[in-house]
Amino acid sequence: MNYDHIGQMITIKIAEYGDQTALRYKKNDAWAELSYREFGEKIKNLACALIQSGVKKGDSVGIYSANRYEWAVSDFACILAGAVSVPIYATNTQDQAAFIIKDAGIKLIFVGNEEQYNNIAAIQKAGTAIKIVAYSPSIPVDSSIANYFDAFMKVSDSESLLAEMNKRSGKIKTDDVTTIIYTSGTTGNPKGVMLSHGNLFHQWECVDANFTVTSKDVSLCFLPLSHVYERMWSYFVYLKGAIQTYLEDPKQVIETMQEVKPTAMVSVPRLYEKIYAAVLNSQETASSVKKFLFTKAIETGTIYNNLFFRKKPIPTGLSIKYRVLDKLVLSKVRAVVGGDKNFFSAGGAPLDKSIEEFFLACGLLICQGYGLTETSPMVSYNTPENFKFGTVGKLVPECEVKIADTGEILVKGPQIMKGYFNNPEATAESIVDGWFHTGDVGEIDEDGYLKITDRIKDLIITSGGKNIAPQNIEKLVGKDFFIDQIIAIGDKRNFISALVVPAFESLETWAHKKKIQFQDNEELINHPSVIDFFRERIDQQSKKLAQYETIKKFKLMANPFTQEGGEITPTLKLKRKQINEKFKAMIDAMYHKH
Measured CA to CA in angstroms, residue 276 lies from 271, 336, 356, 478 at distances of 9, 10, 10, 12
How many whole angstroms separate alpha carbon 85 and alpha carbon 77?
Answer: 9
Kindly write down the DSSP assignment for every residue of 97-141, as one continuous string. Answer: HHHHHHHHTEEEEEE-SHHHHHHHHHHHHTT---EEEES-TTS--
pLDDT tens, per residue, the chain with 594 residues: 789 999 999 999 999 999 999 999 999 899 999 999 999 999 999 999 999 999 999 999 999 999 999 999 999 999 999 999 999 999 999 999 999 999 999 999 999 999 999 999 999 999 989 999 999 999 999 999 999 999 999 999 999 999 999 999 999 999 999 999 999 766 678 999 999 999 999 999 999 999 999 999 999 999 999 999 999 999 999 999 999 999 999 999 999 999 999 999 999 998 999 999 999 999 989 999 999 999 999 999 999 999 999 999 999 999 999 999 999 999 999 999 999 999 899 998 889 999 999 999 999 999 999 999 999 999 999 999 999 999 999 999 999 999 999 999 999 999 999 999 999 999 999 999 999 999 999 999 999 999 998 888 888 988 888 889 999 999 999 999 999 999 999 999 999 999 999 999 999 999 999 999 999 999 999 999 999 999 999 999 999 999 999 999 999 999 999 999 999 988 888 999 999 999 999 999 999 864
Q: Which pLDDT does position 558 carry in this prediction? A: 97
Contacts of 73 (CB under 8 A, 6+ apart): 39, 42, 43, 46
Q: Which pLDDT does position 593 carry in this prediction? A: 61
What's the fold here for domain 6-172+211-251?
Rossmann fold (3.40.50)
Closest CA to 382 of 367, 370, 395, 360: 367
φ, ψ (nearest 5 deg) of residue 247: -115, 120
Contacts of 376 (CB under 8 A, 6+ apart): 195, 199, 200, 202, 203, 228, 232, 415, 416, 417
Q: Which pLDDT does position 189 carry in this prediction? A: 84
358, 277 Cβ separation under 8 angstroms: no
- Quote the Cα angle for 513-516-517, to 5°: 130
Closest CA to 348 of 572, 192, 190, 66: 572
Q: List, in sequence order, every residue forming a beta bridge with 345; answer none if it has no partner.
A: 266, 367
Q: Which pLDDT does position 455 carry in this prediction? A: 86
SS3 assignment, position 245: strand
What does the DSSP 8-state code read for residue 348? S
The CATH homologous superfamily for domain 267-455 is ANL, N-terminal domain (3.40.50.12780)
Q: Which pLDDT does position 1 carry in this prediction? A: 73
How many whole angstroms separate alpha carbon 8 and alpha carbon 376?
Answer: 19
Q: Which pLDDT does position 185 carry in this prediction? A: 64
What does the DSSP 8-state code read for residue 350? -
Measured CA to CA in angstroms, residue 574 lies from 91, 228, 230 at distances of 15, 19, 20
Query: Per-domain residue ranges for the chain?
Result: 6-172+211-251, 267-455, 459-591
- Fold match, 6-172+211-251 / 459-591: no
Cα 522 → chain centroid: 31
CATH of domain 459-591: 3.30.300.30
CA atoms within 13 A on the CB side of 44: 20
Q: Is the peptide bond before 87 cis (omega within 30 degrees of 0)?
A: no
φ, ψ (nearest 5 deg) of residue 408: -70, 140
Q: Which pLDDT does position 56 carry in this prediction? A: 97
Q: Which pLDDT does position 463 carry in this prediction? A: 85
